[in-house]
A and B are shown apart, each in its own frame.
Chain A
Amino acid sequence: KQEVTQIPAALSVPEGENLVLNCSFTDSAIYNLQWFRQDPGKGLTSLLLIQSSQREQTSGRLNASLDKSSGRSTLYIAASQPGDSATYLCAVRQKTSYDKVIFGPGTSLSVIP
Chain B
Amino acid sequence: GAGVSQSPSNKVTEKGKDVELRCDPISGHTALYWYRQSLGQGLEFLIYFQGNSAPDKSGLPSDRFSAERTGGSVSTLTIQRTQQEDSAVYLCASSLETTPRGGGTQYFGPGTRLTVL
- B45–A43 CB distance below 8 A: no
> Which A residue sits closest to B107, measured CB to CB?
A46
One of B42, B44, B108 near A43 (C-beta < 8 A): B108
Cα–Cα distance between A36 and B37 once the two chains are bound (Å): 14
The proximity string for B residues 83-117 relative to A, scoring 1 for CB distances below 8 Å and 0 otherwise, is 00000000101000000111101111111000000
Say whether chain B's binding surface is mostly helix, strand, loop, or mixed.
loop
Which residues of chain B are within 8 angstroms of A99 by Cβ–Cβ distance? 48, 50, 55-56, 101-102
- A46–B55 CB distance below 8 A: no
Which residues of chain B are within 8 angstroms of A98 by Cβ–Cβ distance? 48, 55-56
- B91–A103 CB distance below 8 A: no
Cα–Cα distance between A45 and B106 once the two chains are bound (Å): 9
One of A46, A102, A105 near B106 (C-beta < 8 A): A46
Q: How far is the CB of B101 from chain A (nearest CB, A)?
A: 7
Q: How far is the CB of B45 from chain A (nearest CB, A)?
A: 5
- B102–A105 CB distance below 8 A: no
- A105–B42 CB distance below 8 A: yes
- B107–A100 CB distance below 8 A: no
Which residues of chain A are within 8 angstroms of B105 by Cβ–Cβ distance? 34, 46, 49
- B101–A31 CB distance below 8 A: yes
Identify the A interface with B (CB < 8 A).
31-32, 34, 36, 42-46, 49, 51, 89, 91, 93, 95, 97-106
Known: A101-B33, A102-B45. 18 other contacts (CB 8 A): A31-B101, A42-B110, A43-B91, A44-B91, A45-B108, A46-B106, A46-B107, A49-B105, A51-B103, A93-B102, A98-B48, A99-B50, A99-B56, A100-B48, A100-B56, A101-B45, A101-B106, A103-B43
Identify the B interface with A (CB < 8 A).
33, 35, 42-45, 48, 50, 55-56, 59, 91, 93, 100-103, 105-111
Task: In the A-B complex, list the 4 residue pairs whose CB atoms are closest, starting with the nearest.
Answer: A31-B102, A98-B56, A103-B43, A44-B108
